[in-house]
Amino acid sequence: MKSPNRIPQRRAQGYALLTVLILTALTLMVLAATMKRTDVAASLNQRNNQFVASANAAEAATEKVIARIRGDYEYGGDAAVDGNLDSYRSSVPTADEDAYWDNFTFSDAQGGAGKTYVNTLSNRVYTALDSQYAGLNGWRTVYRVVSNAQKKNGISGIVGAVQQDVELDSIPVFQFAIFYNGLLEFTWAAPFTVRGRTHANGDVFTGSASSLTFLDLVTATGTVQKKSWAGFTTRQMTGKITYTGHPGYSTNEPELSLPIGTTNTPDAVREIIEMPPAGESVDSSLGQARYYNKAGMVIVVDDSAVTATIKDSPSDSTPVTYTCTNLANVSDMFPFLNLNNTFTDQRENKTILASQIDMSVLNQWLSTNDYTDPDSPVTKHPSSNPMNILYVADNRTVSSSELTAVRLTNGWSLPINPGSNGKPTGFTVATPDPLYVLGNYNCTNSAYLNKTNTSASVPASLASDALTILSQKWDDSKSSSGFSNRNATNTTVNAAIITGIVYSGGSDGSSPFSGGVMNLPRLLEDWGNGSVKLTLNTSIVNLFNSIKATGPFQNPGNYYYAPTRDFNFDPNFKDPDKLPPGTPTLGVVLRARWATPPPNTTTYAGF
């Protein structure tokens, strides 16, 4: 029997060796490829990590500048930012702040080492605003901030770049139907509809047995909530609360502040209605915000004289000054002013010594006085700079049972003051004292068009320590008597309001209770418990507390019975030509756009 054919042993060993060599080669190839891939991946990761670190450093540089812009803007407005551009351009993260930043070099994308690019992208313009302020108008300036950053000991040529555009928005405070620089209380309001934007630099408390409707967005830096407050529990608050905005409300929003060069506390903001201290520059942030400096005419009453100053501008070095030292006959020099009226304010439980301004006589005096008549050859106030803000301070010495104040009468017609564009600039009255408005105010001029109500008026505002509205039936001689002798009649006031309140106190807001937004305009008469109407076409603004009229709110029946409150936001205030003279503006910084442009680029538009 023959044996089968066999592969020689030597030949078989050769095949095995070849297989091993092939497998080894393949393994080495795979290993080499893996090592190469790992090396490439490591290199890519290193480059990516370096880019991310550089981009983060560049973003830190832009954030440092934006933080400075925000602080300067909230502190001093547009002028404070515009005057600091060169300083911003020299601002980059430094090792003095953190040793980490010594790992990077920074540039402004234009070859400027140790610099950040900062420039105006859009000059100040009045426009519709965006974001959470959609529906409002304001003055907007847009700045572009760009930084390039590179790691010092890293891979050459890897640069991180960040570009940010920021908006500086100045919003006229009267764009809001209601604005509070603190807690805003609708607690236990009568049926109420808010027809414009609402904002509080604090919480918003709602809740009543009556309905409350917001026709536009409500924003707050704090919360918006129904809360047991002022002696009322949430179980009693059965009234429906309706939000019709989209969204209805928004919380934890940025604070809107007045750029007055200080903090935005009520005590600080109150300075806008106070007389300036000696030596304060009219060009300072606060100086520019003071009504005293904005006013074309300032009247100061003290124990020995009345002084009226007429000026072209806040910095007028040659103002015209009238001084009357005969207080008993002050109307001989100033026919619109009377210092002999007194009456009782039962909320304050004090006798009021009023500097009383007859607005109809003042209107005539302003139009015929040589230094205020625009057509006079010796005029101090040409039509391009009309006399449209009156500031009055009554600084007479009084006893603890008395209180000085300003009262406006016959205010149904106000000075029109046509501006350079031919449109009425209107009239503003400001005082650091309590202010009383007697009768209809700003209701008959036909030059102010397009109102939603039938009354025609000019742009007007009232700024004061506290505001009390007296109907046309008010009688000083009956001011200390009971309700039966103090019956009100229907009254209309067409003016924006900035005034103080007595803040709610205690843990539950009942000691005292401010009275809420419905009672910000004080009342002293029997308004028929709803049968007599008080109409306000207005913007209601509270920025500070009352420090002169400090009598706390008391429920109806003590010194007044409530009217039917027809409170309406005046939509004319959305038009910059129909804003009251001297309207304060609120500042806010918003981020418009963020991008990572190519290095050495400041005009990147690929958002």
Give tens-digit pLDDT for 424-482. Answer: 789 999 999 999 999 999 997 544 433 344 345 799 999 999 999 999 999 999 999 98
Residue 312 lies in a domain: yes
Residue 536 lies in a domain: yes
Q: Residue 55's closest CA among 168, 144, 166, 154?
A: 154
Q: What is the mean pLDDT of residues 20-31?
A: 75
Q: What is the pLDDT of residue 436?
A: 98
How far is C-alpha 112 from the chain's CA centre? 37
Residue 401 lies in a domain: yes
Residue 543 lies in a domain: yes
Tally the C-alpha atoms within 13 A of residue 11's C-alpha that lie toward its C-beta.
Answer: 3
Collapse the DSSP code of 198 into the 3-class scheme (helix H, G, I; strand E, B; otherwise coil) and give the result: strand
The C-alpha atoms of residue 514 and residue 594 are separated, in whole angstroms, by 44
Which residues sit opposite 591 in a β-bridge? 166
Q: Residue 229's closest CA among 203, 248, 263?
A: 203
**Is 320 or 273 the better-scoring residue by pLDDT?**
273
The C-alpha atoms of residue 597 and residue 607 are separated, in whole angstroms, by 9
Overall domain count for the chain: 1
Q: What is the pLDDT of residue 8?
A: 58
Residue 346 lies in a domain: yes
Q: What is the pLDDT of residue 92?
A: 98
Q: What is the mean pLDDT of residues 190-208?
A: 96
Q: What is the mean pLDDT of residues 548-552?
A: 97
Quote the domain boundaries for residue 461: 296-568
Q: What is the mean pLDDT of residues 178-190?
A: 96
**Is 255 or 13 the better-scoring residue by pLDDT?**
255
The reply to whether omega before 247 is within 30° of 0 (cis) is: yes
Q: What is the pLDDT of residue 378?
A: 56
Q: What is the pLDDT of residue 317?
A: 83
Residue 411 lies in a domain: yes
Residue 316 lies in a domain: yes
Is residue 383's pLDDT more than 60?
Answer: no
- Using an 8 Å Cβ cutoff, are 253 and 232 in contact? no
Residue 245 lies in a domain: no
